[in-house]
Amino acid sequence: MLRVTVDNPNGDGRVAIARCAAISREIETLLDAAGSMPGAYQLEVSSPGLDRVLGREKDFEAAISHRVKLTTRRPIEGRKRYRGRLESFESGVLKMKVEGLRGGPSRADGDEVLIPIEEVEKANLIYEFTSADFAKESSRSGSSQSGGV
């Protein structure tokens, strides 16, 4: 099994299925021509997805100004689950503008919280849909929707 994850220059996980298929065909052709894979193999080409996992420092840096959801290893300021906009990431500390969550300790929308990256157990980007996401394919042909490697 060979898995390849492709993204576009914006790093937002928006790679068209047709682009993944084209990359898959190109990789398969190159592997077969070079005889790089002994025997049968399965090639899987995909994008990181709209709700991409954030795990590395560069993932968090790319997510600045975007909405994220995360769970911490231990409670910070009385809770472990957070949702909100990532304002900054400096010296290993995330600064989030929090959205209120139902069923947990109350925090007003817009409160800021500082979370050390080593306390993050799981984090994902929250994709914010726009009207452009629902436009016809022909009107997006020149946009970043076409993906990239």
DSSP letter string over 106-137?
Answer: ---TT-EEEEEGGGEEEEEE-----GGGGS-G
Provide the domain limits for residue 10. 2-49
The mean predicted confidence, pLDDT, of the chain is 83
Whether 137 maps to a domain, the answer reads no
Confidence at residue 101, expressed as pLDDT on a 0 to 100 scale: 58
pLDDT over threshold 80, residue 130 = no
Q: Is residue 22 included in any domain, yes or no?
A: yes
Do 65 and 121 lie in one domain? The reply is: yes
**Is a pLDDT exceeding 60 seen at residue 107?**
no
pLDDT given at position 24: 95
> Which tokens belong to 14?
């928006």
Residue 87 shares a structural domain with residue 32: no
User: In this structure, is residue 43 part of a structural domain?
Assistant: yes
Segments of 31-92 assigned E as strands: 43-46, 67-76, 79-90
Residue 146 domain-assigned (yes or no):
no
pLDDT band, residue 37 (cuts 50/70/90): confident
pLDDT at 80: 94
For residue 107, is it within any domain? yes
CATH number of the domain at 113, please. 2.30.30.100
Which is nearest to 96 in space by CA: 107, 117, 111? 111
Number of domains the chain contains: 2
